[in-house]
Amino acid sequence: MITVPIKRVLTKEQADELVGTVVPISEANLKEPCIVYDEDTQEPIVAYFKMEPEVTKLLRSSVMNIKMGVTLRMKTGMRNASRTFGMAPRSVVLKRESCRATALASESPEEHTKLIQAARYLQDQLKIIFPEIWKKDKEEITKIGADWLLEDDAIWTSGVVNKTATLPYHRDGFNFDTWSAMPVVRRGVEGGLLNFPEYDLTVECRDGWVVYFCGYRWVHGVTPMKVLVKDGYRYSIVYYALRGMKDCFTFAIETAKGKSKRMEREENMKEFLLGNQDIKCKS
């Protein structure tokens, strides 16, 4: 297994200043299968490897059939197509009263199942490459109830599929300080490389390859893309562990709480509407 030492070129504070900014066009300087580690601290930074062909095929057949949602990033003006999968925590902003499985599990169960199946291979590969990291991450995930893992013995709770999405510099601040897997399937798209400014490291993100890294720890972003053919695409599938899942009760309790909260909200809305109707009648 090839290992490559690399020097840090930016401090954490300098990298933080880049968060939210557009990643510049750059050439890949990591193209071959290897593990990259900090020359001074000996800490692993990135692992880059080719996946088995059947796993690439499985992921491609899944993501090509998933209906994407579009989000606008206010800072950069970028519109990105993406879709989350796995588990989601409560969210007041999104009016999600309970922890639950994401909508993709019920809307497209076949595609969702394929994503989970691929996770098994990716986790096993990470365990082989970094047995100590896998053990540490596994211990960290014990803070989460078993109901909220992608499946039994998993180290991830959730994931996101990004379609030809140029992402600005960011840290994965909602995640645990654990490693993620980012496999890529692509065709007819130029660019879309994964850049780590703290190390001036740019990963090629070839079709059928996977990048392992700790997105919570390192600032990272995706370089601009250019679609070269009519049906060109670049899908990245990121598997991660959400910190918000550690606050979830069991699936049964969360389901009951969610139902109760929804009924309460509907009743409050009904009372509000009836109250407004009375006002209109009196006037």
DSSP string, the chain: --EEEE---S-HHHHHTTTTSPPPP---SB-SSEEEEETTT--EEEEEEEPPHHHHHHHHHHHTTPPPEEEE-TTT--EEEEEEEEEE--BTTTTB-S-EE-THHHHSHHHHHHHHHHHHHHHHHHHHH-HHHHHHHHHHHTTS-GGGSSSTT-S--EEEEEES--PPSB--TTB-SS-EEEEEEEESEEE--EEEGGGTEEE---TTEEEEE-TTTS-BEE--EEE-STT-EEEEEEEE-BGGGGG---HHHHHHHHHHHHHHHHHHHHHHHHHHHHHHHH-
The average confidence (pLDDT) of the chain is: 91
249-273 pLDDT per residue, tens: 888 888 776 666 666 655 665 665 6
Is the pLDDT score of 240 beyond 80? yes
Is the pLDDT score of 11 beyond 70? yes
84-120 pLDDT per residue, tens: 999 999 887 767 788 999 999 999 999 999 999 999 9
pLDDT at 281: 54
Place of tokens 């491609």: 60
Lowest average pLDDT, out of 6-10, 66-70, 182-186, 239-243, goes to 66-70
pLDDT at 69: 87
| Distance from C-alpha of 227 to C-alpha of 189, rounded to nearest angstrom | 4
| Distance from C-alpha of 135 to C-alpha of 223, rounded to nearest angstrom | 32
pTM for the complete prediction? 0.89
Average pLDDT (151-180) is: 95
Is the pLDDT score of 275 beyond 80? no
18-73 pLDDT per residue, tens: 999 999 999 999 999 999 999 999 999 999 999 999 999 999 999 999 999 877 65
**pLDDT interval class at 187 (50, 70, 90):** very high
| Distance from C-alpha of 55 to C-alpha of 67, rounded to nearest angstrom | 21
State both tokens at 170.
């960011």
Report the DSSP beta bridge partners of residue 47: 35, 212
Is the pLDDT score of 10 beyond 80? yes
| Distance from C-alpha of 63 to C-alpha of 161, rounded to nearest angstrom | 7
- Domain 3-248: top CATH class: alpha beta
pLDDT at 267: 62
**pLDDT interval class at 79 (50, 70, 90):** confident
